[in-house]
Amino acid sequence: MDLRPVGRQFFIRTYGCQMNGHDSELMESILLSYGFQPAKSEDTANIIILNTCSVREQAERKAIGRLQRLARRKKSEEDFYFGVTGCMAQNLGLELFHCVPDIDFVIAPRRIHAIGEVLRRLKNGERQIYFPNESVETSENNDVLYRRKVIKASAFVTIANGCNMNCAYCIVPKTRGREICRPMESILHEVQFLVEKGVREVTLGGQIVNFYGVRKIPFKNGKSPFVQLLEKVHSIDGVDRIRFLSPHPSGFRDDLIDCYSNLPKLCPHVHFPIQSGSDRILRAMRRPYTRQMALKILHKLRRNIPLMAISTDLIVGFPGETEEDFRQTEQLFSEVDFDMAFIFKYSLRTGTQAAVMDNQIPEIVSEERNQILLKKLAVTSYRRNRLFIDSRQPVLVEAPSTKDPAVLWGYTPHHKKVFFHGPRKLIGQIADIKISKATTCALSGTLADELV
């Protein structure tokens, strides 16, 4: 039986970071406005989009495997289209048409606004459409943001896209291009629009948010343009919570640290990507800060804000990382007591500076270092999570659990995921939860009061 009645059912599979997650939501809104419908699953879809990530080789390899399976499916199904958006579309570009000859479209991150138009053209018989970032055939259109159709209690708002840094391991400057900041007014309009639709929490997002606007907007009373933006978002009625993702340790100055004390809506959690605890490796990575500078910021945050939650990104096995360098990272790990950490084994990315460095580290060594940090993380995250047992937490309820629909989940201000039994009407609301249990990755509790 054919479950795809009208040939307009799409399915988007998202890999990688929150920026990609947001781009997928944007594409979904655009496709809905073109009259396409979301499919219940990949199997029942006749349009499949892989919104890809290039940060690590493994993610690219997995996506190519999936594309090759989709190519086989295309041979046996009429009216079936599939393609790639996101970082791989820019990183591999035309090469993708060689690896997967039947692919219908390849659209780079800066051009995803064209997705509706691309599908319309494919449906009209055009074949193999390619939009790299440099393409002039279509332009970015921020208006589309206001036409968002997918609205949840917590929304990601892009404030900048692209990156001007030069981290030796990273492919993002190549895939997303140079940084473009959205005008402040446009961001504030979008936040206003979102709260009118019922959004309670906004996450201001970009590759490096704390460098927002530094080349165009002057500092005011010692406050950076990003801090000025935070203050303006804070003053919008209806915004209950503010987060941002990700800051860079350089440029995380006192004006930003003070925001955690001065702006009550700013959640007491920071994602602070340190990458390494060794100054020698940080230098080789071209990260312009030292271990001491990073620690000073984190100590201040923990001193000023009760139970300040800190998460990080760390790379193990960067070229030339010695036992001593790794020991420094281990030490830093113990010293900071991270709530959460994303630990990555260094992945060689062609075209980056690190790809041609001597002393590439064998996989077996990176894996061993990875396991050591993961073990440490299990201990620290459990200890940090236990600090919340017996407390009452305001939980912004996101959705029912996939395992048990009677159980709901949401996040506390410290970005702890909480599971509890409760009625579905709480989705999108802030519920008061008494925490009774902690694991390494989540908390659970009972409903104390329905709404905060």
| Cis peptide, bond prior to residue 261, ω within 30 of zero | no
Q: How far is the CB of 18 from ligand SF4 (least distance, A)?
A: 12
- Between 179 and 190, CB nearer to ligand SF4: 179
Helix then strand count (H, E) for the chain reads 14, 19
53 binds ligand SF4 (CB under 6 A): no
Q: Which amino acid is at 166?
A: N
Tokens 């804070």: give the residue: 234
Count of C-beta atoms within a 10 Å radius of residue 291: 20
Q: Which string of x and - marks every residue 320-359 that binds ligand 5AD (by CB under 6 A)? A: ------------------------x-xx-x----------
Q: How many residues does the chain have?
A: 452
Residue 188 CB contacts under 8 Å (≥ 6 apart), including other chains: 232, 233, 236
Are 108 and 90 in contact, with CB atoms under 8 Å apart?
yes
Task: Out of 163, 230, 284, 373, name the contact with ligand SF4 by CB under 6 A.
Answer: 163
- Between 346 and 419, CB nearer to ligand SF4: 346
* Total chain residues near ligand SF4 (CB under 6 A): 9
Find the part of the chain contacting ligand SF4 (CB under 6 A) among 93-101, 165-173, 355-363, 431-439: 165-173
55 binds ligand 5AD (CB under 6 A): yes
Find the part of the chain contacting ligand SF4 (CB under 6 A) among 94-102, 161-169, 295-303, 369-377: 161-169
Find the part of the chain contacting ligand SF4 (CB under 6 A) among 60-68, 169-177, 192-200, 230-238: 169-177
Return phi, psi of residue 429, to 5°.
Answer: -110, 170
Are 338 and 380 in contact, with CB atoms under 8 Å apart?
yes
Which of 371, 383, 291 has the alpha carbon at shortest distance from 331?
A: 291
Q: Which string of x and - marks every residue 248-267 that binds ligand SF4 (by CB under 6 A)? A: x-------------------
d(CA 201, CA 241): 4
Which residues in this chain contact ligand SF4 in the complex, by CB under 6 A? 163, 165, 167, 170, 172-173, 207-208, 248
* Residues in contact with ligand 5AD by the rule CB under 6 A: 17, 55-56, 169-170, 273, 275, 313, 315, 344, 346-347, 349
